[in-house]
Amino acid sequence: MRTVGEDGFGHAAPFTGVPPVLDDRTWDACIVVPGIMGSVLNDAETGRPLWGVDRAMLTNPRAGYGLLRSLHADESEQAAGAETFRRTPLTRIRATALVSKPWWLPVLEGLEPYTDLVKALRRVTPAKDAVETFPYDWRLSVDYNGASLASYARAHLSKWRERAVALSGPGGRRPRLLFVAHSMGGLVVQAALEQDPELAADTRTVVTVGTPFLGSASAVLTLNLLHAEARPKWLQERVQAMAATLPGVHDLLPGYRCLDRGLEADRLTPADVARFGGDTYLAARSLDAHTRRWERQFVMPGHRAIVGEAQATVQTLQEQRADFSLVAGRYYAFDVDDDGEVARDPATGIPLRRDTWGDGTVHLPSAQVGTGAITYVFGQHGTLTCHNDVLRQVVNIALERRPGPRLAGDSKGPGLEVPRLGGTFGESLTLHATGLDSPAGVTLSVTSATTGRPGHPLTLRRDPDRTDGALTAQFTAEAPDLYRVVLDTGSHVPISQLVLVIPPDA
C-alpha cells in the first residue's frame, strides 16, 4: 500500500499544498516602562483614582486641591529605596495601569498615552501576553521603582518562557527581555538591571526614548513654580507643593553643570535646590546618585537610544533675584571636556556656551548617554511614544534588524513651541514653529485632545521679535480644554504637543 509522502516507487511525492508564509516575530518578553506622570495612581484602600483618570483635577480647584494634596509623599515614601521594596513594599498608593488619555502638567507639559507603542510591539510578537506594561508609582524614588521592576520583569520572563515553549515547542530560542522605556522609565530600567545582575544577563536590549540620564533642567523649573507668572495661580502653587515632596521629581534634577553664574558654570547643590523650592534631603540623595552613576558608568545590555531633537529645550539656569529664589531657563548648555570640566574661550576664559537643542524637555547630551547606538527624530518629549518614526524604530529593534542610516543629530529641522505653563481661557496663546525657511506648505492645527473635534488651521507668519526666524501663530480656545497642537511640514513626520487651557482664577 502506498504510504503518505511516497509516489509508490519509493520516491518522495511532490508537495501540492500551500506553503506557510511566516511573519517576522520576536519571541522575547517585552516590557513597556512609562515616564513620570505615565501611570494611573489609585488610593490603595478605597480604590479612588488619584491621578491619570479625571482631568478635572487640573482644571477645577475644588477637585485639584484635594487630589494633588493626596499625592504628596509622606516621610516613609520619601525615604523609600530599593531595600524598602524588598523588605516591606509601600501600600498607601497603588499604580494600576498606564494612562489611557492625554495628560499634562505645567513645565513638564503634555504626555500622550502609550497605546500605540504597546500595539506596535504586540503586532510583532507571537501572542499579546508577550508584551506587558509596568505601571509604577512615579512619585517615589528611581531606586525603589527599580527594585519593583526587577521583581516584575523576572516574573514576566519566567511566565513567558513557559508560554513560548507551549506555542513553538522546545526547540526555539530561549526568550530574553526587551525593555522599551520612555523618559524617567529608562532610569528605572537602569536601576533594575544594576541592582540585579542576573536580570541584566537575561536582557537582550533596552530601548530608551527621551531618557534624561544626566537629568533635566525642567525638574528645577517645576520646583520653582511658585514664582511662575502664569494664571490661574492655584494650579502652579498646588503642583509646586506636590513636586517639592516627591523623590521622583528630585531624581530628575540635572547632575551636569547647569547653573550659569557668568564666568562660572556650577553644578546644583542641595542648598540651591532648597532655595528654588525643592527639598534638601531629596536633592542630596538624587545628586549623590548622579555622582555614583558617573563614577560607575553602568552600561545597559544592548542599549539603543531614541532621541528627540530640533526642539527648543531649557538646558541651563540663571538666578534672577538677590535672594537666589527665582531661576529662569536658558536655551544653551556649557561645553565640557572629557573629564567633565567646562571648556573655556582661550582668549577670555569665558565658559563656552552652545545650544544643543533636544526634545523640549531633555537636551541631547542627557538623552544620548551610555550608548553609541542612537536614532534621532524631530519630536516633542511627551509625544515621542506615538511618533511614527519612533514606533518604526522600536519595531525594527524588537525584530533585531540591523540599524539603517541615522539622522545626523545636528538639530537642524522643524521644531514646535507652545506655552509650557498652559493658558487661561479668554486669552490668546502664542505658538511657534522653528527651523523652517518659510510657511509655504506648512500647516499648524489645534484640535481638542478630549473630543477630537478639529479646529481651523492657524495662519503662520514670520515673528519679527524672534532672531531665529521662527514662525508664529495665535490661538484662542473656544472653551477650557486640553488641546493637541500639530505641526505638519509635509516632508517630516508631524510633530505634536499638548497644552492645557483652564478657567481663570475664581
Number of domain units in the chain: 2
Confirm whether 24 is domain-assigned. Answer: no
Q: Would 506 be classed as within a structural domain?
A: no
Is 422 found in the same domain as 389? no
Residue 3, pLDDT score: 46
For residue 411, the model assigns a pLDDT of: 58
Tens-binned pLDDT, residue by residue, of the chain (506 aa): 444 444 444 555 565 666 655 578 999 999 999 999 999 999 999 999 999 999 889 989 988 999 999 999 999 999 999 999 999 999 999 999 999 999 999 999 999 999 999 999 999 999 999 999 999 999 999 999 999 999 999 999 999 999 999 888 666 789 999 999 999 999 999 999 999 999 999 999 999 999 999 999 999 999 999 877 766 789 999 999 999 999 999 999 999 999 999 999 999 999 999 999 999 999 999 999 999 888 888 999 999 999 999 999 999 999 987 777 899 999 999 998 877 789 999 999 999 999 999 999 999 999 999 898 999 999 999 999 999 999 999 999 999 987 654 555 565 789 999 999 999 999 999 999 999 988 999 999 999 999 988 877 899 999 888 888 899 999 999 899 999 999 999 988 999 999 999 998 75
Residue 277 maps to a domain: yes
| pLDDT on residue 322 | 76
Measure the CA–CA gap between 430 and 135, rounded to whole angstroms. 35
Q: What angle do CA 390, 395, 400 make, to 5 degrees?
A: 125
Instruction: Name 168's Cβ contacts closer than 8 Å, sequence gap at least 6.
Output: 27, 126
Distance in angstroms (rounded) separating the CA atoms of residues 376 and 393: 10
Report whether 501 contacts 57 (CB < 8 A): no
State the CATH number of the domain containing residue 357: 3.40.50
Residues 435 and 299 in one domain: no
C-alpha distances out from residue 302 to 18, 408, 485, Å: 38, 21, 35
Q: Is 405 inside a domain boundary?
A: no
Question: Any idea what the CATH number is for the domain that residue 454 is in?
Answer: 2.60.40.10
- For 187, other C-beta atoms within 10 Å of its C-beta total 27
- Side-chain-side CA neighbours of residue 330 (13 Å): 19
Same-domain check for residues 49 and 159 = yes
Phi (first) and psi of residue 320, to 5 degrees = -115, -10
Which domain covers residue 470, as residue numbers? Answer: 415-501
Q: Is 237 in the same domain as 325?
A: yes
> What pTM did the predictor assign?
0.93
| Cβ 462 vs Cβ 471: under 8 Å | yes
Residues 456-478 as b or e (16 or more Cβ within 10 Å = b):
eebebeebeeeeeebbbbebebe
493 in the same domain as 379: no
Assess whether 463 and 348 both reside in one domain. Answer: no
Q: How far apart are CA 203 and CA 302, in angstroms?
A: 8
Q: Provide CB contacts within 8 A for 47, sequence distance 6+.
A: none
- Provide the b/e sequence for 365-390 (b: ≥16 CB within 10 Å): bbbbbbeebbbbbbbbbbbbbbbebb
314 and 453 co-located in one domain: no
Asked if 281 and 419 sit in the same domain, the reply is no
C-alpha cell at 135: 505601571
Computed on alpha carbons and rounded to an integer, the radius of gyration of the chain in Å comes to: 24
